[in-house]
Structure 1
Amino acid sequence: MINETKEKALEREIKFDQAFELVKNEVDRALSASPHIVRKYTKHLASSMGKFIRAVSLLTCSEDRDGLIPPDAIKFAAAIELLHLATLVHDDVIDNADLRRGEITLQKKYGKRTAVICGDYLLCMAVNLAASVPNKQDYLDLEMPDYMSRVCLGELNQHINNGNFDLSVLQYLKIISGKTAALFEASFYGGALLSEKNPDMLKKYAKIGKYVGMIFQLTDDCMDFETTEQVAKKPVQSDYEQNVITLPLIHAFREKDEFKQKAKNGIITRDEINDTVLSTGGLKFTRMVAKKYYEKTLKLIESLDAAAGKKSNLKSILDKAYRVF
C-alpha cells in the first residue's frame, strides 16, 4: 500500500514536503538496495547523509506557481545527492579524512581502494537514476555529465595547485566554481528546467545556483579557521595540512610576503597560520567576497518571474549558504 502511494505520487505534481520525503526515500532505497557486493558499503554511507541542501534547491526551483513539484524532480534531486555523496567519498580518500558528518569515513573503515570503487559506483548510480525519468528530454537538457566533468576538473585543478603559495584570488575562484559551485548550479538549473521555459530565466537560475555554491565554499573556508570539529562534524584546521590553499590564506600571503616565504620553506605552525590570517584580515576579506556574491544573488532572485513564496524559499537557501556571516 505504501509503495503504491509512492508510485502514484511520482506520477503527478505534489507539494514540497511530500516531494522531499520521496527524495530521501529514493536515496535510501538506492543505497540500501544496492547489489550485495557493494551493499555493506553503501549502507554505511546511508547512515551519515547530510541536509540535502542540493535536493532542496532543485525541488524549490522546480515549483510551479501553485507550489507543486513535477515528478521528474524527485529522481533528479536524488541523483544530485548521490553524485554529491560520490564526490565526498572521493574527497575523503584524497584528504585521508577520518570523519564525515560525525561518522567514520568509508575510506577509514574499509580502506582507500574500496572507497574509490564505491565512489565510482555512486557516480554510475546517479547517472542511471537521472536518466530513468520518463521524459528523457528533461535528462538530456540537464546535461548532467557536463556538470560532473566540471566538478572533476575543479577537483583536479585544486590538486594541481596544492601547495601553490602564489595562487591568485581569481585562480582560486575558478577552482571552486568547478569543484563546489558546479553541482549547486546543476541543482538550481535542473529544477528550473522542469518549471521554466524562458531561456533567459533559466540562465538566471543557473547563475543563482553557481553563486550560492561559491558562497557555500567561502563559508566553509572560514569555518576551517573558526569552528570546532564537534560543530562541523568533520576535520577542521586541516586545509593547509592537506596542502589546500584557500582564500583566507591567499589574502594573508598577499598582505605579508615574509609569511608566504616562510610557508614556502615549510616553517610555519598552525598557530602562526591562524594568527596571521586573523591579523591580515583574511577572514574579513573572504566574508567581503562572499557578501558580493550574496548581494548579486539577491538581485537575481528578485528579478525572477516566480511566485513570491518561491522567491522567499530561494532566499532561505541563500541565507543558509551565507550562514556564518
Structure 2
Amino acid sequence: MDKKEPLQRLLDYLDEDMTLCNRVIMDRMQSSVELVSQLAAHLIVAGGKRLRPLLTLASARLCGYEYSPDDVMPRHVRLATCIEFLHTATLLHDDVVDESLLRRGAESANVVFGNAASVLGGDFLFSRAFQIMTEDGSLEVMRIISQASATIAEGELLQMTIQNDLSTSIVRYYEVIYGKTAALFAASCRVGAIVAERSLKEEEALEAYGLNLGMAFQLVDDALDYSANQEELGKTVGDDFREGKITYPILIAYQQADAEEKKFWERVIEACDQNEDDLKHALFLIHKHQALEATLQEAMNFANKACDAIRFFPEGELHSLFEDIARYTVNRHF
C-alpha cells in the first residue's frame, strides 16, 4: 500500500501536467520590470501546495480530458495557471491587510519588499490571470472565474465587518469562508469539467466537490491557528486571536462559555485588550470546551459532502484520490 500522503500521490499522478503548469507559471510571472520578477521569484522559492491548480488539472482528467503532446499550453494547464495567479494575488493582498510576517515558513513579501510592492505585485498577477482567461476565449470560463474573483473580495470585506464581533452567527461565518476560500476551490474544479466539455451535471458535481472541500479547508485553517506548530504551519500561530478574527473555534468557545469566560472573550476579542498571557488562557478555554474537536468534526462533515458530490463518477485511482484529498484536508497539520 502506498504510504505517501494523498496530496503527494495526486502530484505524482499529475506529474506531467503539473510540471508543465509550473513551467507556464514561471514563464507568465516574468516582467520587464525587475521588481515584479523579484516578487515572482520570492513566491516561487516559497513554494506552496498548489492545491487549487491541482484541482483544475485533476478535474479535467477525471472528466476524461486529453491533449496532444505537441500542445505547449493545453487548456487545463492554462486555466490552472490562471487559478494559481488569482490565489497568489489574494495572498499578497491578504498579507498586507493582516500585516503578516510569515508566509509558507519564510518572510512574507510585504516584509521583504514592502506593502506598496506587494499590493502592486498582486495587481500584476490579477491582470495576468485575466490575460490568460482572454487567451482561452471561453465566456463561460471567464464568467465563472471572474465571479469567483469578485466573491473572494466580498468575502474578505465581509470578514472585516464581522471582526471583533462575538455576536456573529455560524451562518454569517460560513458566508465569510465561502467567499474568501471555497468559491475559488469551486471554480477551480468546475473549469476542469468545462475544459473537458462535459455535461452540466458533471460541472455542478465538481463545483459542489470544490465548494465543500474549500469549506473544510478553511475550517481546518482556522483550527490550526490555535493548535499547530508554527514551523509546520509556515505562518505565525495565534495571528487570528491577536487580530480579533471571528472563527469557528472562537464562536464555539464563546457559545459554551460561562459568564466569567464570556467577559474574557469580550475583552480580548471585542475590545482587543490583550496581554501576553491571554493567548495561553484562550487556548485553555478552547480546549476546555472542545472547540477544536467541534471545528474538525464540522470540517469532516463538509469533506464527506465533497465525496458524496462526485459519487457517480467512474471508480478508479483518480476518483479515489479525490476522496482521499478531501479527508486529508481535515487531518493535515499545515
Counterpart contact for 1:138–1:194, Cα < 8 Å: no
Write the mapping of 1:90-239 to structure 2, written as runs, cut at 5 A: 90-133=93-136, 135-137=137-139, 139-140=141-142, 143-239=144-240
Q: Distance in 1 between matches of 2:197 and 2:321?
A: 17
Deviations 1:127-157 (A, max 9, x none): 1122212x534634x5211110001100100
Deviations 1:260-286 (A, max 9, x none): 332223456111110001101111111
Is the partner of 2:46 in helix, strand or coil?
coil
Is the partner of 1:322 in helix, strand or coil?
helix
Counterpart contact for 1:67–1:310, Cα < 8 Å: no
Q: 1:204 to 1:145 in 2, by over 3 A?
A: same
Deviations 1:296-325 (A, max 9, x none): 222222123x45233122123213322249
Counterpart contact for 2:307–2:322, Cα < 8 Å: no
Residue 45 in 1 paired to residue 53 in 2?
no
The residue aligned with 1:263 is 265
Q: 1:97 to 1:65 in 2, by over 3 A?
A: closer
Q: 1:273 to 1:264 in 2, by over 3 A?
A: same
Which letter does structure 2 place at the counterpart of 1:282?
A
Deviations 1:78-134 (A, max 9, x none): 11111111111111111111111122111111211221111111111111122212x
Which letter does structure 2 place at the counterpart of 1:262?
F
Q: Distance in 2 between matches of 1:188 and 1:95?
A: 28
Counterpart contact for 2:92–2:109, Cα < 8 Å: yes
Is the partner of 1:302 in helix, strand or coil?
coil
Aligned with residue 17 of structure 1, among 12, 15, 22:
15
The CA deviation at 1:196 is 4.5
Counterpart contact for 2:304–2:326, Cα < 8 Å: no
Deviations 1:161-186 (A, max 9, x none): 11111111111111101101111011
The CA deviation at 1:67 is 6.8
Q: 1:36 to 1:217 in 2, by over 3 A?
A: same
Greater mean deviation of Cα atoms: 314-323 or 113-122: 314-323
Counterpart contact for 1:31–1:39, Cα < 8 Å: yes
Which letter does structure 2 place at the counterpart of 1:169?
I
The CA deviation at 1:32 is 3.5
Write the mapping of 1:282-297 to structure 2, written as runs, cut at 5 A: 282-297=291-306
For structure 2, the residue ranges without an aligned partner over 5 or more in a row are 1-12, 69-73
The residue aligned with 2:310 is 301
Q: 1:65 to 1:170 in 2, by over 3 A?
A: closer
Q: 1:91 to 1:65 in 2, by over 3 A?
A: closer
Residue 80 in 1 paired to residue 83 in 2?
yes
Is the partner of 1:265 in helix, strand or coil?
helix
Q: 1:292 to 1:161 in 2, by over 3 A?
A: same
Deviations 1:213-269 (A, max 9, x none): 011111111111111111111111110111211101100100114323322234561
Greater mean deviation of Cα atoms: 237-246 or 177-186: 237-246
Is the partner of 2:176 in helix, strand or coil?
helix
Q: Distance in 2 between matches of 1:220 and 1:247?
A: 10
TM-score (norm 1): 0.88
Which letter does structure 2 place at the counterpart of 1:17?
D
The residue aligned with 2:8 is none
Q: Distance in 1 between matches of 2:63 and 2:40?
A: 37
The CA deviation at 1:203 is 1.0
Q: 1:37 to 1:65 in 2, by over 3 A?
A: closer
Equivalent residues, number: 308
Which letter does structure 2 place at the counterpart of 1:59?
L
Greater mean deviation of Cα atoms: 15-24 or 205-214: 15-24
The residue aligned with 1:11 is none
Q: 1:273 to 1:47 in 2, by over 3 A?
A: same
The residue aligned with 1:10 is none
Counterpart contact for 1:79–1:125, Cα < 8 Å: yes
The CA deviation at 1:35 is 3.5
